[in-house]
Amino acid sequence: MRRVVVLCSVLLAAPALAQDMGGLERAANGFYATYAGLPHQGGIPDAAARARYAPLLSPRLNQLIAAAAAAQSRFQKANRNSPPLIEGDLFSSLFEGFTSYRLGPCSGDAKQGQCSVNLTYQDKSAKPVTWTDQVLLVNTAQGWKVDDIAYKAGFAFGNTGLLSDTLKMTVAEAP
């Protein structure tokens, strides 16, 4: 009898998990589609771009980006002729960013998940560059939201580690 109850519980939970994975994929695709529709200026997104990203990001990631933007502003005021604290693309491993994406496999549970993202940068003057990063998501009261990005490419001059660590370091470096 115990085996039947466990099996029934697993079978009943499977559709709910499938729905969660669908929401996870929709959230990841929504974020990357929004990125593709915005101008790529590198560094911390400006106020208009942050407003477009805000509904797609977790409260934690929104707060980190806002804190990094404030730190950047303080730094620029104190160091007028210095380059910004963050240059290049913030949301991918490659400095130039990406020109196309394809969502890979997603996994997780009802609270958190991750999706592989196959990214390509296509410049007319060179061969395409391809790599895979990982988008980390959390299920909030408002649904699935991007909570972090793991830079997985390992480029010599690209982003490494986590987006959240890059933002925390930016905040710590500013006056």
For the chain (175 residues), the mean pLDDT of every run of 10, in chain order, is 42 44 93 92 92 97 97 92 91 95 96 98 92 98 97 93 96 85
- The confidence score (pLDDT) of residue 51 equals 96
Task: Note the pLDDT of residue 126.
Answer: 87
pLDDT at residue number 175: 73
- pTM of the entire structure? 0.86
User: What domain range includes position 162?
Assistant: 2-173
Confidence at residue 124, expressed as pLDDT on a 0 to 100 scale: 86
- Whole-number Å distance between alpha carbons of 17 and 22: 9
Structure tokens at 130: 């391809």
Q: Return d(Cα 146, Cα 36) in angstroms, integer.
A: 16
- Our count of domains for the chain comes to 1
Alpha carbon distances (Å) from 38 to 13, 26, 42, 50: 38, 18, 11, 11
DSSP 125: T
| Contact present, 26 and 143 (Cβ < 8 Å) | no
| CA gyration radius, the chain | 19
